[in-house]
Structure 1
């Protein structure tokens, strides 16, 4: 059976560690919001590797819930929406969610 610690260790190995402005490393924890932690495309590659390693079908993850700003057209971003307002609708995406899904063998959220 997959443990939360195994999944946490996996993501710690897969993702770069961000630094604060004082150059302190930001630790990745079970309830860290991955949207704020992971950099660019790196996170999406980590999800693919997670799916392979833990045999979880991630095709049902609807990223629109977790990255709402990215789903607006350039026109919408430029004209009528404020990023802060759109980001208020964002759902958290955490390592704990991936750990629970790995235990179940399928994506449990959305």
Structure 2
């Protein structure tokens, strides 16, 4: 049986959990409740990359997932609303187990 929790935490830790001072320092401790955007300080483009790779690697059907529900592109003069809907590691794990995205925007 696959250990989705370990696989997904390792995926995020290795690719998206930067060291505190770029090349040195501690990484943040990842928990099920870790908010991918806010706790890891990811920019929009990194979030898009993370989610695209996640959906492909774990064969999760992305139907119902809308990136703008969780992240907004931040650019000079942007007037996009900040959704501030948390996207947690636990959400990725549970959706991977189900094989489809479980958290449509209508649930918020």
TM-score with structure 2 setting the length: 0.70
1:25 aligned residue (24, 27, 33): 27
Aligned match of 1:83: none
Q: How does 1:22-101 map to 2 (within 5 A)?
A: 23-36=25-38, 37-40=40-43, 41-67=45-71, 70=73, 74=77, 76=79, 87=82, 90-101=84-95
Aligned match of 1:14: 15
Considering only CA atoms, is the larger Rg found in Structure 1 or Structure 2?
1
**For the Cα contact (< 8 Å) 1:29–1:95, is it kept in 2?**
yes
Does residue 103 of structure 1 match 2:106? Answer: no
- Look up the SS of the partner of 1:35 in the other structure: coil
| Bigger relative contact order (CA 8 A; separation at least 6) | 1
The ranges of structure 1 where at least 4 consecutive aligned residues each deviate by more than 3 angstroms after the TM superposition are 74-77
- Look up the SS of the partner of 2:69 in the other structure: coil
Q: CA–CA distance in 2 between the matches of 1:43 and 1:55?
A: 18
Q: CA–CA distance in 2 between the matches of 1:60 and 1:102?
A: 14
Structure 2 gap segments, 5+ residues each: none
**Structure 1 residues 16 and 104, CA, compared in 2 at 3 Å: closer, same or farther?**
same
Q: CA–CA distance in 2 between the matches of 1:42 and 1:101?
A: 20
Q: CA–CA distance in 2 between the matches of 1:105 and 1:43?
A: 20
| Aligned-pair CA distance for 1:107 | 0.2
Q: CA–CA distance in 1 between the matches of 2:78 and 2:90?
A: 35
